[in-house]
Amino acid sequence: MRVLVTGASGFIGRNVANILASQGHNVTAGLYAKKNDGTEYRIDLTQTDEVERAIKQLSPEVIINCAGVIGADANFDHNVQITQNLMNATVVAGLQLHRFVVCGSAGEYGHVSLNDWPVKESTPLRGDSPYARSKIREEAVAKDLGIKHNIDVVIARIFNPIGRDMPSKFLIPNLLSQINNPKEDGVIDITVSRLDSLRDYIDIDDVALAISYLATKNHKHEFYNVGSGIALSVGEMLKLILEECNISGSVKITEQSSISETPVASQADISLLKDEFSWKPRKTLRQSIKEIVEKYNGNRQN
The CATH number that applies at residue 215 is 3.40.50.720
**In this prediction, what percent of the chain has a pLDDT beyond 90?**
87
State which residues form the domain around 10: 2-163+201-229+267-281
Q: Residue 257: exposed, middle, or buried by beta-carbon count in 10 A (0-12, 13-18, 19+)?
A: exposed
Domain assignment present for residue 256? The answer is: no
Of the candidate ranges 12-21, 53-62, 186-195, 290-299, the one whose mean pLDDT is the lowest:
290-299
- pLDDT per position as a tens digit, 41-89: 899 999 999 999 999 999 999 999 999 988 777 899 999 999 999 999 9
Average confidence score pLDDT of the chain: 95
- Which residue type sits at 295? K
Domain assignment present for residue 239? The answer is: no
Give residue 297's pLDDT.
81
Q: Say what angle helices 234-244 and 285-301 make with each other, to 10 degrees.
A: 50
Domain assignment present for residue 250? The answer is: no
Domain assignment present for residue 238? The answer is: no
* pLDDT at 39 exceeding the cut of 80: yes
Q: What is the largest CA-CA distance in the chain?
A: 67
- pLDDT per position as a tens digit, 172-225: 999 999 998 888 778 999 999 999 999 999 999 999 999 999 999 999 999 999
Domain assignment present for residue 53? The answer is: yes
Domain assignment present for residue 129? The answer is: yes
Give residue 205's pLDDT.
98
Asked if 281 contacts 232 with a C-beta cutoff of 8 angstroms, the reply is: no
* pLDDT at 100 exceeding the cut of 70: yes
Identify any residues that bridge with 64 across adjacent strands, giving them in sequence order. Answer: 5, 101
**What is the pTM assigned to this prediction?**
0.96
Domains: count for the chain: 1
- pLDDT per position as a tens digit, 267-286: 999 999 999 999 999 999 99
* pLDDT at 263 exceeding the cut of 70: yes
Give residue 296's pLDDT.
87
DSSP track, 218-260: --S-SEEEES-S--EEHHHHHHHHHHHTT--S-EEEEES-SSP
* pLDDT at 302 exceeding the cut of 70: no
Domain assignment present for residue 241? The answer is: no
**In this prediction, what percent of the chain has a pLDDT beyond 70?**
99
The C-alpha atoms of residue 195 and residue 207 are separated, in whole angstroms, by 25
Domain assignment present for residue 196? The answer is: no
Give residue 300's pLDDT.
67
